[in-house]
Amino acid sequence: MTTKLRIVLAQLNLCVGDIQSNLKKHIEAALTARDQLAADVIVFPELSLTGYPPEDLLLRPSFIQATQSALQQFISEVKGIYCLVAYPQSTPQGLYNACSLIHNGSIIAHYAKQCLPNYGVFDEARYFIPADKPCVALVKDIPVGIVICEDAWSPQPIQQTAAEGARLVLIPNASPFETNKHEQRLRVLAARAKENHLPILYVNNVGGQDELVFDGGSMLVNEKGELSQFAGFFNETLFPIDIDLAATQPISKQTTLPNKEEKTYQALVMGLRDYVEKNRFPGVIVGASGGIDSALTLAIAVDALGKDRVRAVRMPSRYTTDISMEDARELIHALDISSETISIEPTYHAFLESLASSFKGKSPDVTEENIQARCRAIILMALSNKSGWLVLTTGNRSEIAVGYCTLYGDMAGGYAVLKDVYKTFVYDLARYRNQLSAVIPTRTLERAPTAELAPNQKDEDSLPPYPVLDKILEYYLDQSQSIDEIVSRGLDRETVVKIVNLIHRSEYKRKQAAIGTHINHKSFGKDWRYPLTNRFKG
């Protein structure tokens, strides 16, 4: 009896709803695995034919029918290799998140997901019904178990396959990137492998889908729970793995993984690139203020799209300092991108004149500051309308959390690259980017942050220092701690209460904000669904 298999993990970048293109990728990958890589098996990611997550497309019968047609075409065209393909399966009982093992024109085994995630960014219980049966299929006389993604996070599904005699387990996945997600996955897979004395092959998709980024990280974990083979992050690849069940799979020689800054930067680059490419925008426009957020956003944009598809716009006002203009000019020169300068002064002056009678007898306040931000939004959106290019907003998680941003002003745009990045981490990412090539001016990294909407304005005039603010936000947003718990960590109660109040008062802004790349398990968006009308502060 054979104990050897060559299995290809198809770590692919697929597009939700583009069923024909996804099908083409499947066929090409399977034929390449068969003819060039001499593979016995190819494993595709979760819901690979539709892309993940298809969301309410799953409620359209025509979408399910198109997927079924694509599956039948794959079955008829690919022979001579075992293929594990994943798709939504319609049955009289309901819709399953399913996969089928296909060989020589036939489905030889079928599995439907048992554990449906319904938390964070996942809504699978909205669309699918859970199954309850294991699947073990013979591949060249070797019993192979199959589970899908979330099934591995619960002990029972893999225990079932082991009880049915599986010698190894295949897991199609669609697991989004978070800064510490790889380590979590590895811990879970190691536990399952050791519990059941089985090697586990985990294949994840890769690429951006709206605010989600899938990082790949496909791997083999051996029966001792050790990382044996690793396909890497953020790369589309057909990754061959040779399995010999007569011996323990050797430990991977690759021991160095990217650090937090490198992984996150790659995620931001891929998230932006795929959003622009898959939605067919010709390029992006960014307001260049001379500050750290716009500098990092521009650097990410150039790394994602190339310098010819990025355009910077400087929009000075009466409060813009020479230093800001110089720093913006230096960044634009270092990135070698096209730019223009459009003063907001004429527009701002016209608004003030139009509103003079309405504002009569009232002192200047934040209203006038917001008008400046909205003048800039009008300019950027006008340029976007004329060119078809996408406006990128530059706000970070810290600002968006407490509403230190202007609705219909600096929040205006189609994609928020730094939406999930705390201000203190923005600086870390900027320093990391400068290690690749020094493009962000040193002075930009060292200057006190300022919106420059009033004379001598600094962010800390309105907010606590960012290291303090971000610590409060981390405890309250990421860890769901109460005010009392946060204060017990040595933080000032008045400051904590102020920040919590700002978080809740700003919910209406976040509901209208552009989507942005998800890197945090409590991102604003699908992970954060608080009512606007809400008096509970915790």
| Residues recognised as catalytic | 46, 113, 149
Question: Is it true that the peptide bond before 53 is cis, omega within 30 degrees of 0?
Answer: yes
Quickly list DSSP for 89-156.
EEETTEEEEEEEEEETTEEEEEEE-S----STT--HHHH--------EEEETTEEEEE--GGGGGSHH
Burial 84-105 (b: 16+ CB within 10 A, else e): bbbbbbbeeeebbbbbbbbbee
Question: CB burial class (10 A; 0-12, 13-18, 19+) of residue 187?
Answer: exposed
Tokens 């990092």 appear where? 296
- Contact call for residues 198 and 145 (beta carbons, < 8 A): yes
CA 535 from chain centre, in angstroms, equals: 31
Cα–Cα distance measured from residue 337 to residue 18, given in angstroms and rounded to the nearest whole number: 32
- DSSP letter at 362 equals -
- Contact call for residues 94 and 100 (beta carbons, < 8 A): no
Which structure tokens are listed for 304?
């994602």
* HSE (side-chain half, CA atoms, 13 Å) at 315: 25
- Contact call for residues 235 and 263 (beta carbons, < 8 A): no
The SS3 assignment for 356 reads helix
Tokens 């996804």 appear where? 22
Cα–Cα distance measured from residue 10 to residue 204, given in angstroms and rounded to the nearest whole number: 8
Which structure tokens are listed for 303?
């790394």
Cα–Cα distance measured from residue 106 to residue 142, given in angstroms and rounded to the nearest whole number: 18
